[in-house]
Structure 1
Amino acid sequence: MRIAAFTTMGLVLALAAAPFIASDVGAKASVSSGVEVAYASVGADTSIPFGWVEFCQRYASECAVSGKVADVNLTEASMHEIRQVNTFVNRSVEAVSDMEHWGVVDRWDLPADGKGDCEDYALMKRKMLIERGYPRSALLVTVVRDQQNEGHAILTVKTNGGEYVLDNLTDEVKPVSKIAYRFVKRQSQQDPNVWVALGPVAAQKFASR
C-alpha cells in the first residue's frame, strides 16, 4: 500500500521511527569463503548526467566528497537493513514521470511531495542509508538500459561481498549478476561528482580473511 504525501524530512523521520535493527557496518563480514560474488566492470571517466549536476545545485550537501573510500561490510544485519530501506522507499513514493511531475523531460530530486521517478527513488535510498551510517562511497547512483533499451536509474550498493541493486521496480535486493539490465555508468567511489563507464558484470570467488 502506498504511503502518500510525505515530505522529505517526514520520510526520514518515519524511517528512523520504523523498527530497524541497529546498523552493524563494522561487524565481521558474513560472506563465506568460496562464495561467488559479482561486480560491474568499471572503465574510464565518462559524461556526468545533467540531472545530477542540476540536483547538486539544489542539494550541495548531498554531493559532498566524503574523502574516504569504503565498502559496506556485508552481514545478515546490514543486508536486512538495506532491504528495509529499499522496500520502505518503494512503498512510500508514488511513481510519476518528470513531465507529469515537473513539466520537464528530466529532473533529479528528492521526493519531497511523495512523488518521483527512478532517479528520485535512488537518491532517497542513498540519503537514508548515508544517514544510517553507511559509507557514501559505497552508495552509487547508476544508469542502466532495460530490456527495451530505455534508460533507467538504480542504486548500487558496493559491499565486500559483491554489488547489490536497489530498484524501484522491485522490493527484492538483487546481486548485479542477477539483473537483466545493461550497465552504462555510475558515480565514482572516490568522488560522487565524477562518473565512470561500466562494462559487463564479472564474478569472482570471495576469499576469507
Structure 2
Amino acid sequence: MRIRINIKSALAGVALALAPVLASVAMAAQAGSAMPVYAPVGDVTTPPSGYLQFCRDNPSDCKASAQEARDIVLSRQAWKDLIALNDQVNQSVKPMTDLENYGKVEWWAYPTDGYGDCEDYVLFKRKLLIDAGWPRSALLITVVRDKKGEGHAVLMVKTDRGEFVLDNQEPKILSWRATGYRYVKRQSQSDQNVWVSLGDTQTTSIVSSKGD
C-alpha cells in the first residue's frame, strides 16, 4: 500500500519549524569567515527535458521572473533546519523509478503518492524551503554524473560558506566538492528557467537525468 504525503500539511509544519531561520537569511555574512569556493559556472545551456515537462504541468512553480541572486547566510540554526528537512524528505519518500511509478522513462513531479526518483526528491525539498521563506535563487536544481557515471539530480544550496548538496543517495549534506560527482548543469540564480553549464564542458550535452 502506498503512503500518501499531505504536501499542504508538510509545508505548514516545515514553514513553522523554519520560521526562526528567516531573520538569519537576511543578515550579512559573518566577518572573518573562510573564503568559500563555489562551483565554476559556464555558459547558458539546455534545460533538462524533465524540467520543461514539470513546468508545463506546474506553471505556477515556474514563473519566469528575473530576481536578484541571494545566498543563504548559513547560521547554526539554518544548518540544523536544513539537515532536519533533508532527513524528513529522504525518510518520507520511498525510491521508485519513473517507469515503475508513471509508466514513463522520465517524469518530473512532486512525490504526492509517497514515491519518487531523484528529481522528485529535489523538487519536494526545494518547494518546502521556498514556501518556508528561503530565497529561490539559493536553491538550485542541479544535474550531475554520480559515482557510477549515471545521470542524477540533486539540490544545491548556495550559501555564504559555499555550496552544499541535498541528495537522496547520501544521508549527509555535503559540500559540492565532497560528493564525488561530476557537475553538469543547474538553474541560474537570476532566473529559474535559465540553465547554466557547470564544470566539465564535455558533459553539458546531457538533457535529462536518468538516475534516482
| Alignment TM-score, normalising by the size of structure 1 | 0.87
Change (3 A) 1:32 1:70: same
Change (3 A) 1:31 1:115: farther
Q: What is the aligned partner in structure 1 of residue 43 from structure 2?
A: 44
For the residues of structure 2 that align with 1:110 and 1:158, how far apart are their CA atoms? 22
| Alignment TM-score, normalising by the size of structure 2 | 0.85
Change (3 A) 1:16 1:137: closer
- Does 1:61 find its partner at 2:60? yes
For the residues of structure 1 that align with 2:107 and 2:143, how far apart are their CA atoms? 14
- Does 1:108 find its partner at 2:105? no
Change (3 A) 1:30 1:82: farther
Q: Deviations over 1:39-85 (max 9, x none)?
A: 11000011111110110111112112362321111111111111111
For the residues of structure 1 that align with 2:30 and 2:113, how far apart are their CA atoms? 38
For the residues of structure 2 that align with 1:98 and 1:127, how far apart are their CA atoms? 20
Which one-letter code corresponds to 1:39 in the other structure? Y
Q: What is the aligned partner in structure 2 of residue 196 from structure 1?
A: 196
Overall identity of the aligned pairs, in %: 42
For the residues of structure 2 that align with 1:29 and 1:78, how far apart are their CA atoms? 13
Q: What is the aligned partner in structure 2 of residue 178 from structure 1?
A: 178
Preserved contact between residue 97 and residue 117 of structure 1 (Cα < 8 Å): yes
For the residues of structure 2 that align with 1:22 and 1:170, how far apart are their CA atoms? 27
Preserved contact between residue 8 and residue 113 of structure 1 (Cα < 8 Å): no
* Gap regions ≥5 residues in structure 2: 201-212
For the residues of structure 2 that align with 1:109 and 1:127, how far apart are their CA atoms? 11
Q: Residues 34-183 of structure 1: matches in 2 within 5 Å?
A: 35-64=34-63, 65=65, 67-183=67-183
Runs of 4+ off more than 6 Å: none
Q: Deviations over 1:110-151 (max 9, x none)?
A: 111111100000011110111111110110000000121100
Change (3 A) 1:147 1:75: same
Preserved contact between residue 43 and residue 199 of structure 1 (Cα < 8 Å): yes
Q: Deviations over 1:163-183 (max 9, x none)?
A: 000001122111112110000
Q: Which moved more, 1:158-167 or 1:68-77?
A: 68-77
Give the deviation of 1:9 after TM superposition: 2.1
Number of residue equivalences: 196
